Amino acid sequence: MIATSTHCRALRIALCIALLGAAVFGGCITAQNVAPPKPKLVVLFVIDGLPQRQVLDYRDQLGPDGLRRFLDRGAWYAQAYYGHAHTVTAAGHATLLTGAYPHRTGIIGNEWRDPVSGIEVYNTGDEAHTYLENRTAKLSGTSPRNLKVETLGDVLRRADPRAKVMGISAKDRGAILPAGKSGTAYMYMWDSGRFATSSYYMREHPAWVKAFNGAQRADRYFKVAWSPLLPAAAYARSLPDGRPWYGPGGRLPKTFGEGLQKPAADFYASLLPSPFIDELTLDFARAALSGERLGADEITDILSVSLSGHDYINHAYGAESRLSHDHVLRLDRMLEAFFHDLDRAVGPENYLAVLTSDHGFAPVPEHSKSIGRDSGRPNVNEILARLNAGLAVKFGAGRWVLGWSADGVLLDSKLIAARKLDRRAIDQEARRLLLAEPGIVAAFSRAEIEGNALPPDTPFLAAVRNTWHREVSADIQLVVKPYWLFGTTHKTGTTHGSPHEYDTHVPLLLYGPRWISGGRVDARVEIVDLAPTLARLIGTGAPAASEGRPLPIPELR
């Protein structure tokens, strides 16, 4: 017995030394205490325009291994929010892997106006670069030039240039911004039904991209119908088809390519508000997994896949529609199939998956009115015309207003200087006039955003400060009333872009059985917390501008 005990003790000591050198835990390190290797692949799924409420509303109708892989066996955050005011696609995608809000990233919206010239700027626009093998229209997104900070992928590739970082989306901004400065982005070309990158990243597409595009995968949806996945009774909790506030095509089933003799640009664009664009995007992601050998070695790679169809569907019909309800269920089945392919290609315990969204969605104003909410659609052009007229009454005739810019109003600084006016006086008068407009609940001048005159708990002030960048933002930043939408002439569909609950509350789901255990987390967290969390899990530094903190993760013990 003494000899056996001595022998076992010697083996235990040797095992401890072999595992962690001199580190000990109660005389020895057990297998549970050995840190797992870094993930071979981090996969970020961004469901464009998916509010948190839609994930949970249909939980009983989900398949066994799509969204429920996160909900049943991963960590999910019941109170995850964006903390900036202008909640749109580009701003959200720029936040995800930088850990920074627009006041640092410089991506204050999808588009904005140059504060000096008033000329429109597109978030990923760069006239120095063009799409490969495809037409490049004005204001196309071709590079991350306007992104002022680094992403997690940039940090990863700086530490080891062999790491691969890739962004894929039907939208240029959904691909380019998560990929950062040193990754590679591929986006869907509405004209051709193919995926392409730009000259910012390379001179020629690799062979696997040419092979994918040569197969013309989008054409398989020509004259194919989108029909409801479940029987009619299953959609009782969503609004029926054909509501008067729906955009065109608001009924299922609907067939794509009707009236056309063969696939062409109109058909390829028509796939965007459908589940087919997401199937196509995931197919391209599968090709990228194989073609780039993502997750094939011990060096961590990052793959961001932004699925854009849900955003287009919600814009046209609303998140309360049967079309949106059905699309959530179809996304769930698509994710299940993609998970199974990831399991085979990378190994079920070799990758870390994250699912979130870039913003939520406001209910359609006409639907809100029908259930007794105060709601409306203030016309931006009319607001600006009344503002200019009001400023003219007090300060003299002139074009005082240059335009609308990312939910802000840009005034003509040159005219103000030429008239030798007190800048704060004209800003305050503009603010007063704007607060008198129906549908506007808050307005903040540059001095109020940058200064300390207002109490820190002033409603919406913190969110506006997070969304406002001093080099690119407008002079007066506005907040629309709850359930109201800034618009122009459209009287159908809906949008997003406010700091209200329905626009800021999004899903945040993590799955990686070697790094986290399952569980619901009720602590309030922010989406800026994701980047530093992933940095910790893959063993690298957080992006320099990151302002988040690591999420409370149910870690393995």
If asked whether residues 133 and 170 sit together in one domain, one would say yes
How confident is the model at residue 30, as a pLDDT?
A: 34
Q: How confident is the model at residue 24 (pLDDT cuts 50, 70, 90)?
A: very low
Q: Are residues 240 and 302 in the same domain?
A: yes
Does pLDDT of 100 surpass 60?
yes
Phi, psi of 41, rounded to the nearest 5 degrees: -150, 135
Residues 76 and 19 in one domain: no
**What contacts 16, CB < 8 A, 6 or more positions away?**
23, 24, 28, 29
Residues 402 and 266 in one domain: no
Going by pLDDT thresholds of 50, 70 and 90, the confidence category of residue 555 is low
Enzyme catalytic residues: 89
The whole-number pLDDT of residue 89 equals: 98
- The reply to whether 547 falls in a domain is no
In this prediction, residues 186-191 reach a mean pLDDT of 97
Domain of 23 in residue numbering reads as 2-33
Assign 305 a pLDDT band (cuts: 50, 70, 90): very high
**Do 283 and 403 belong to one domain?**
no
Q: Are residues 247 and 145 in the same domain?
A: yes
Query: Is residue 191 one of the residues assigned to a domain?
Result: yes
In this predicted structure, what is the pLDDT of residue 554?
75
pLDDT, tens digit, 9 for 90 and up, residues 366-404:
999 999 999 999 999 999 999 999 999 999 999 999 999
Whether 131 maps to a domain, the answer reads yes
Q: What is the pLDDT of residue 268?
A: 98
Q: What is the pLDDT of residue 9?
A: 41
Tokens standing for residue 215 = 């197969």
Give me the mean pLDDT over the 84-107 stretch. 98
Residues 174, 486, 493, 101, Cα dihedral to 10°: 20
Residue 252 has pLDDT above 80, yes or no: yes
Q: Residue 557: pLDDT above 50?
A: no
Are residue 22 and residue 47 in the same domain, yes or no?
no
Q: For residues 55 and 140, state if they share a domain.
A: yes
Q: Are residues 88 and 25 in the same domain?
A: no
Q: What is the structure's pLDDT at 529?
A: 98
Give the least confident one: 8-17, 158-167, 258-267, 440-449.
8-17
In this structure, the dihedral spanned by the alpha carbons of residues 406, 412, 414 and 415, taken in order and rounded to 10 degrees, is: 180
| Pair 60, 22 in one domain | no
Residue 128: pLDDT band by 50, 70, 90 thresholds? very high
- At residue 19, does pLDDT exceed 80? no
Is residue 26 predicted with pLDDT exceeding 80?
no
Q: Between these two residues, 533 and 31, which has the higher pLDDT value?
A: 533
Residue 301 has pLDDT above 50, yes or no: yes
What stretches of 362-412 show up as alpha helix (H) in DSSP?
365-370, 380-395
Query: 408-431 burial, b if ≥16 CB within 10 A, otherwise e?
Result: bbbbbeebbeeeebeeeebbebbb
The pLDDT value recorded for residue 489 is 67
Does residue 225 sit in the same domain as residue 294? yes
CATH code of 329's domain = 3.40.720.10
Indicate the pLDDT class of residue 36, thresholds 50, 70 and 90: confident
> What's the total number of domains in the chain?
3
pLDDT of residue 34: 62
Nearby residues of 163 by Cβ (< 8 Å), 6 or more positions away: 153, 156, 157, 299, 300, 301, 302
pLDDT in tens, 400-454: 999 999 999 999 999 999 999 999 999 999 999 999 999 999 999 999 999 999 9
**The pLDDT of residue 139:** 87
